[in-house]
Amino acid sequence: MSDTAATAAAALLDRIQAPEGRGREIPDAATREVIGRAPVQSVAELDDAIARARAAQPGWDALGHARRSELLLAAADAIDANAEALAHLLSREQGKPLNGPNARFELGACSAWLRTNAATELPVQVLVDDETLHAELVYKAAGVVGAIGPWNWPLMITIWQIGPALRMGNTVVAKPSEYTPLSVLALLSVMNDVLPADVLIGVSGDRATGARLASHPDIDKVMFTGSTATGRKIIESSAGNLARLTLELGGNDAGIVLPGTDPQAIAEDLFWGAFINTGQTCAAMKRLYVHDSIYDEVVDALAGIAAAVPMGNGLDEENVLGPLQNRAQFDIVSRLVEDARARGARIVTGGEAAPELGELFYRATIVADIDDDAALVQEEQFGPALPVIRYSDVDEAFARANAVDVGLGASVWSSDPETARAAATRMQSGTVWINSHGGLHPMVPFGGVKSSGYGLEFGVEGLKSVSVTQVVSGPGRKG
Q: What are the residue numbers of the active site?
A: 248, 282
Residues whose CB falls within 8 Å of the CB of residue 230, separated by 6 or more in sequence, listed in order: 224
Q: Which residues pair with 285 in a beta bridge?
A: 253
DSSP code string of 336-349? HHHHHHHTT-EEEE
Dihedral sign for Cα 59, 60, 61, 66, please. Answer: positive
| CA distances in angstroms from 403 to 110, 350, 378, 400, 428, listed in the order given | 34, 27, 9, 5, 9
Provide φ and ψ at 86, rounded to 5°. Answer: -65, -40
Beta carbons of 56 and 198 less than 8 angstroms apart: yes
Query: Which residue, among 210, 211, 161, 206, has the nearest Cα to 187 in the 3D structure?
Result: 161
Residue 190 main-chain phi, psi, to 5 deg: -60, -45
End-to-end CA distance of the chain: 68
- Nearest by Cα to 204 from 182, 226, 222, 221: 182
Cβ neighbours of residue 281 under 8 Å, at least 6 residues apart?
A: 152, 153, 382, 438
